[in-house]
Structure 1
Amino acid sequence: MSRRGRIIGSLAGALGVAAAGTAAVGIRRQQRAISRRAGEEIPFGTLRSAPVTVVADDGLPLHVEIDEVESATPGRSAGRSAGRSAGGSVRRAKGHPPAVTVVFVHGFCLNLDCWHFQRAAYRGLVRAVYYDQRSHGRSGNSDRAHSTIEQLGRDLHRVIEAVAPDGPVVLVGHSMGGMSIVAFAEQYPELIGPRVVGIGLISTTAGGLDPTRILLPMVPARLAGPVARGVVRTLHLGHRAVDSVRRAGGSVATVATDRFAFGGDVPRGYVEFVDQMLAATPFEVLADFFPHFAGLDKFDFVEVLGRVPTSVICGTADRLTSIGHSRKLQSRIPGSRLLECEGAGHMVLMERHELVNAELDQLITAASARAAAR
């Protein structure tokens, strides 16, 4: 049997038999084997599906891509079928439980390509949705009034409404993407359990963030000090000048990316890829969102996530959202799991992708079983 056949069969088993403990162990082992290999030989930024536009409640277009579960029909790939079925759920045989849709929500100043290793691991095996958050990647540029964490929660709701209108959903967010999920949970708590059946929070927080940590990877070393010392109020007026200096100081920016994104030695291609995503995000975007990180205070709203399987993941060497934030999240979410990746930095989803994917395997398996048991 092919690799695809083994894994799809295992996931189908999890959907059909909620209490099959030994089967669940087999699923995790199969998925972990794939996760270790997936993505290493695929160039960053080349995993694509037919684009879908979702319009946010303020009229802003959001760029969305959907990897469907591979059809049994020969010659049809997940990427080719995504555009035709973006408005509905996965096609399934009559009488079978609905398949889970996993929605991946990226972090600040990144784009949907940051999920490279997760996308490679799950492509064709799980229905997966990736989208660029407003003002990021290929999505439209937001005005300052709508550049808020609360708006990101509403955007996530619109994406779910548009491309996963029925069936169970698992939400996985990194950094600001995790904050988007927390905002969503605050705004739509009635959906946690009935629709959202699993949550993954990676390198994120619900409050207490030191916003100057966010600035440092984005600003050349000779500017980081003055900015961090209190000239945030002038960022918006000076964003074009900062962008010019960032472009001129490419090597300095790459060193900063390496230091703040990763905890240890990683292939140079990882650093360059993250640096490219950071450099492609105008400094104006940082200036628009920046004030909202300092005021973020949503720990009182995360308890609702305890209704569903929840995994919290972070590197112990994360310099942006330190491990203390993840430990606090885990302590506030009843029944949640905490994976601490020793020595990994903020981009743990790349740096320790095999461990992150293994934890997501367990999350998706538990969420699928929960959905099947309803």
Structure 2
Amino acid sequence: MPIDPPLLSLPSLSAPPPPGSRTVTTDDGVPLHVEVDGVADADLTVLFSHGFTARLAEWELQRAALRNRARLVLWDQRGHGRSGWTPLTKATIDRTGRDLGQVLDATTPHGPVVLAGHSMGGMSIMALARRRPDLFGTRVVGVFLLATSAGGLVETGVLGLALKVVRRLGLLPLYLRVLQLLAPVLERFRRRGTAIGRRITRRLLFGADDAHPHDVRLVQELLEETSLPVTMAFYATFLDHDETAALEVLRQVPVTVVAATHDRLTPAAHGRRIAEIIGPGAELVVVPGAGHSVNLTRSQVVDDALNALVDRVRAGWRKAG
């Protein structure tokens, strides 16, 4: 399958926030950057949650694809993009799920909403479903899960074995604390935009045939904007992430799961498992040859899947009416 054309440049953090920007302050005092776009009086809002070490700009192509079809809300998760710093102890998926709920309440207190999440953003949606199941089937009428996992990311291989040993010895808290103490020192000497960084980005974020050099460099720049202390602070939450029970809640609404065959961070098997557990209400889209940055490198496939979910939600309203 041919790769999509190179990406346009994503909005820079050094530029002023665009019109429609606002701040939602969480109950623990963290200011979250939010942008509202699209059709102001649309019958449906799509709320986008980005992935780990990225920011809301990673949804730029999907934002353009849906701008004339729905009201759009995008936000930077705590410690990312234009949002405020987070206490290390609050760098968890459970907390980002709570943040998502507060962004939803503040920006869209009424009307139906489709939640779209990539990677950690998808995990945040699952955490919200566990925390506030009453939202699903009432205010939340659809869910789009892109290259994400419900848990078990570090169970196999050398890293999985090492983690099991560290846990058994009771050393995991010490290990994570050492990482967090080292992070500020490493950040002071960190070099961005290096060839090694590009190789790592190419290896982890791209697939067999979707790594255009322009895209690799752009994703590298995007991910390197997030500081190492934030990265290390969130690391622990991925080790313990398990939101399998929340998938029961998602059965209340139409769900689309998009997985990429060459995703090394959230392998396609995790997407298949999510769709299998949710059952008939879930549509699974598997993208051959693509990696974790599938929303950027295979934007047409992702745009089509997201538009199809919006159509499915609206068709359900017509049928119910």
- TM bin, normalised by shorter chain, reads 0.7 to 0.9
Q: Which amino acid aligns with 1:122?
A: L
Choose the corresponding residue for 2:52, options 108, 130, 133.
Answer: 108
Q: Structure 1 counterpart of 2:311, which letter?
A: T
Q: Is the 8 A contact 1:197 1:370 kept in 2?
A: no
Match of 2:195 in 1: 251
2:280 is the counterpart of 1:347: no
Match of 1:60 among 30, 36, 43: 30
**1:321 CA displacement:** 0.5
Counterpart residue number, 2:204? 260
Residue in structure 2 matched with residue 44 of structure 1 by the alignment: 10
TM-score, normalising length: structure 1? 0.74
Q: Classify the secondary structure of the residue corresponding to 1:128.
A: strand
Superposed CA RMSD in Å reads 2.4
Q: Which runs of 5+ in 2 are unaligned?
A: 160-173
Identity %: 40
Distance in 2 (alpha carbons) for counterparts of 1:202 and 1:249: 26
Q: Contact 1:246 / 1:279 at 8 angstroms: preserved in 2? A: no
- State the SS of the aligned residue for 2:23: strand
Q: Determine the structure 1 residue equivalent to 2:309.
A: 363
Q: Return closer, same or farther for 1:365/1:148 CA change in 2, 3 Å cut-off.
A: same
Aligned to 1:330: 275
Partner of residue 239 from structure 2, selected from 274, 289, 294:
294
Distance 1:194 1:249 in 2: 45
1:134 has 2:78 as partner: yes
Q: Is the 8 A contact 2:210 2:289 kept in 1?
A: no
Q: Distance in 1 between matches of 2:102 and 2:200?
A: 35
Check whether the contact 2:261–2:291 (CA below 8 A) recurs between aligned residues. Answer: yes
1:249 is displaced (CA, Å) by 6.9
2:257 is the counterpart of 1:312? yes
1:235-291, CA deviations, whole angstroms, 9 ceiling, x for partnerless residues?
A: 111113333454167111011111111102433221112111221111101111111
| Aligned-pair CA distance for 1:145 | 1.9
Moved more, 44-53 or 165-174: 44-53
User: In the aligned structure 2, how far is the partner of 1:254 from the partner of 1:49?
Assistant: 32
CA distance in 1 between partners of 2:7 and 2:180 (Å):
40
In 2, distance between residues paired with 1:371 and 1:52?
31
- Going from structure 1 to structure 2, the CA distance change for 1:42 and 1:347 (only over 3 Å counts) comes to closer
The one-letter amino acid paired with 2:309 is L
Work out whether residues 6 and 214 of structure 2, in 8 Å CA contact, stay in contact via their aligned partners in 1: no
SS at match of 2:77: coil
Contact 2:290 2:297 in 1 (8 A): yes
Amino acid at match of 1:339: V
CA distance in 2, matches of 1:48, 1:371: 33
Taking the aligned partners of 1:52 and 1:212, their CA distance within structure 2 comes to 42
Counterpart Cα distance in 1 of 2:8 and 2:54: 19
- Separation in structure 2 between the aligned mates of residue 348 and residue 150 of structure 1, nearest angstrom: 25
The SS at the match of 2:251 is helix
**What secondary structure, in the 3-state scheme, does the structure 2 residue paired with 1:133 have?**
coil
| 1:234 alignment partner, one of 172, 175, 178 | 178
CA contact (8 A) 2:192 2:224 kept: no
For residue 103 of structure 1, report the CA deviation from its aligned partner: 0.4
How far apart, CA to CA, are the structure 1 residues paired with 2:67 and 2:7?
15
Q: How does 1:151-190 map to 2 (within 5 A)?
A: 151-190=95-134
Please state how far the C-alpha of 1:123 moved relative to its aligned partner: 2.0
Compute the displacement of 1:42 (Å).
Answer: 4.2
Query: How many residues align structurally?
Result: 297
Higher Rg of the two aligned structures: 1
In structure 2, distance between residues paired with 1:41 and 1:332: 34
Are the counterparts in 2 of residues 303 and 334 from structure 1 also a CA contact under 8 Å?
A: no
- In structure 1, list runs of 5 or more residues that go unmatched: 1-35, 70-89, 92-97, 216-229
Q: How far apart are residue 369 of structure 1 and its match? A: 2.7
> 40, 43, 64: which one pairs with 1:99?
43
Structure 1 residues 273 and 185: alpha-carbon distance in aligned structure 2, compared to 1, 3 A threshold: same
How far residue 371 of structure 1 moved from its aligned partner, in angstroms, is 4.0
Q: Classify the secondary structure of the residue corresponding to 1:193.
A: coil
User: Equivalents in 2 of 1:251, 1:231: separation in Å?
Assistant: 29
